[in-house]
A and B are shown apart, each in its own frame.
Chain A
Amino acid sequence: MNEEKFNREDERLDDLFRSSVGEMRSEPSAGVWKKLNRQMLRSELLKFQFTNLPKAFWGIIPAAVIITGIALYLGSGENVETTNYPVMEEVTAEVTKEATSPSLPAEAPQADAQLEVATTTTSSTTTSPHHYITTSPPNNGTTSPQPILASQMESRESITVLSCLYPEPILSGITNPPTIQAVTNPIPQETPWEILRKPVSRSLDMGINITPDMVFYSNPSSSFKYNYTFDFGARYNLGRFYIQSGAGLTYSTDIGDYAISCLKNDSVGFYYYVNSFYVEPANPENPQFETKQVTVYDSVLYLYDYSTKNKYYYLQIPLTVGYRIINKPAWRLSVEAGLLYAYLISINEPAPTFYIPEGRILDIERRTPERNKHSLGLTGGVSVEYQFARNFFLLIEPTFKYYMQSIEENSSRGDKQPYSIGLRAGIWYRLNFKNSIR
């Protein structure tokens, strides 16, 4: 009796909680999804899965490559060609001469002391501005010598030029320096576009390459496979930058996937089918039967076959932009990134062959997904070039490719957006253009 009461009270308590707390909902804070999203993105990136990478990143990557390239180009100081100002040495020599003879004769002809310098680049077709520097001797003590002050300069570029013209040790050694006036044109600030438009070396590289790739599929059940690409590439070089394209033939393989349904006699066995019989007149009571054994199938089996190897041939056309970080005469190191278009040109999917002992095949269902004809991907790499002859160089380039669209139509195995890691190796020929500057 008491136990029943206990049980009833227990049930009542349970119901009280079940009916109220059991139906409760509690809204999570906004930070939960943000943290969840971040954590998932991190783990996806570690698995080289870029499905959920924000779209802005796809724009940022090439932009970052280009900006970094420009920054490296500007930072390398190659646009300030101080060594290519031959007149500068003459100026230095003149100033040194004047500095070592502190008291110039008052009657020294103005023309001797005055020096007009034109600083130019070595190019005959240069667009660089000319900087005219005029030096004049002290005016016979009537005018005190004027130091070179930054405030007297009309622009920062003028200071740069003067610093180049009059190196510091020389300037500091001048006890009675001549008045130096920065006259004429202040050098305008150059925009990045103007810098890019400056004459640079132009050349065309052409080469043939082979690239073995390890291709990884996003579907976890698929392991990686090897692809082989044979390509012809062409690069148009513009200074340290280059644009690259070409065409390649890719050989790719995948396993065939088939489901077979078959009848199999695994428990009933067989029976004898009577084809005919005859009765011997001498022994009419024992007819002779001509029979054949017929197998009885009592079960349907479903088998999966992965024994066949499908072959696919793709035409690949890349379009990439690259920048040479290191540009030595003997070797060069470049980074590049861009797009890759692939077109499926040929398919070879051999039919599966089966032998089912004591069984009969009912149906073969093809489960290998159809491949898409077109796909677009991203590609990037770091290439090392080794110049082994005047116009020939070897290229070794670790590459990365990621296909933005599924390569399969209506895939039941999840989106097959593979990525690949490969090593491109080839031999290239450089064709220099005649009017090349650098």
Chain B
Amino acid sequence: MPLEPNIIEGCVKQKRKAQYMLYQHFASPMLALCMRYFRNREEAEDVLQEGFIKIFQKISTFRQSGSLEGWVRRIMINQAINHLKARKLVFLDTDPHILGNWIPEEGPSEQGEQLFKHEELMKAIQALPPGYKVVFNLYVFEGYSHKEIAEELEISENTSKSQLSRARNYLRKILEERKK
């Protein structure tokens, strides 16, 4: 459902009703986004709350020509990353050549979507170590390049690549275990 144009105007004027409508519109997808970065729901909700406060404080800087959802999403991701950084985000194994011990099976390996429920896949992501998780989320869901990830997280591109590779291997293992 599209957002009414006067809601942004109301949010700029700090009207609570407009803020609530904006919150209602974006809260569900943004909580799902936050949950990909944190293991427990409470922590994700805390980040969601802090993210919305930032959104309401900065909404006057939003340019109407851009996508509001993209802007909101960007703030939420930054908030999640800052939250993780505050807890000293650690990136394990920085060797770009380590691809893990997973070897693709012969023949078509259809990891059919039917085999896993959305919730199971979410849990698999949540189970990743924080460094893997952030890089995987930024690369797969947000479409960041390794260069952008490296800049955002202040790490090298190689570290980003290795973290992604390890994250994928980790996920494959989890999924294979669940398949059994």
Contact = CB atoms under 8 A, between A and B. Distances in A.
Interface of A: 5-6, 9-10, 12-14, 16-22, 24-29, 32-33, 35-37, 39-40, 43-44, 49, 51-52, 218, 414-415
A33 B171 CA distance: 33
B153 to A, nearest CB: 19
Contact of A28 (B28, B109, B140): B28
A21 B14 contact: no
B141 A18 contact: yes
A113 to B, nearest CB: 76
Interface in B87-123: 99, 104, 109, 111, 113, 116, 118, 121-122
Nearest to A8: B104
A24 B32 contact: yes
Contacts of A32: 27, 45, 48-49
15 contacts: A9-B104, A12-B109, A14-B168, A17-B140, A19-B113, A20-B116, A24-B118, A26-B35, A28-B27, A29-B45, A33-B20, A33-B27, A40-B53, A44-B14, A414-B12
Contact of B52 (A17, A20, A21, A36): A36
Contact of A26 (B14, B28, B116, B171): B28
Interface residues of B, number: 39
B15 interface: yes
Given A9-B104, A39-B53, A27 B12 contact: no
Nearest to B16: A52
A35 B27 CA distance: 14
Most chain-A CB neighbours within 10 Å: which of B116, B140, B171?
B140
B14 A49 contact: yes
A5 B48 CA distance: 38
A12 B105 CA distance: 13
B102 to A, nearest CB: 9
Summarize A's interface: helix, strand, loop or mixed. Answer: helix
A28 B48 contact: yes
A13 B28 contact: no
Interface in B134-173: 139-141, 168, 171-172
Interface string B1-43: 0000000000011111001100100011101100110000100
B49 A21 contact: no
Contacts of A28: 27-28, 31, 45, 48
Nearest to A10: B168
Given A10-B168, A20-B118, A32-B45, A51 B28 contact: no
B123 to A, nearest CB: 10
9 closest residue pairs by CB, A with B: A25-B28, A52-B16, A24-B32, A26-B32, A26-B31, A14-B140, A20-B118, A9-B104, A28-B31
Contacts of A29: 45
Given A21-B36, A24-B118, A26-B35, A415 B29 contact: no
A10 B111 CA distance: 11
A26 B47 CA distance: 14
Contacts of A13: 111, 168, 171-172
A133 B108 CA distance: 111
B145 to A, nearest CB: 14
A178 to B, nearest CB: 72
B78 interface: no
A12 B111 contact: yes
A414 to B, nearest CB: 6
Nearest to A53: B16
Nearest to B27: A28
Given A51-B15, A414-B13, 20 more contacts: A16-B111, A16-B113, A16-B116, A17-B171, A20-B121, A21-B32, A21-B118, A21-B121, A24-B118, A25-B32, A26-B32, A26-B35, A27-B31, A33-B20, A33-B23, A33-B27, A37-B16, A40-B16, A414-B60, A415-B13
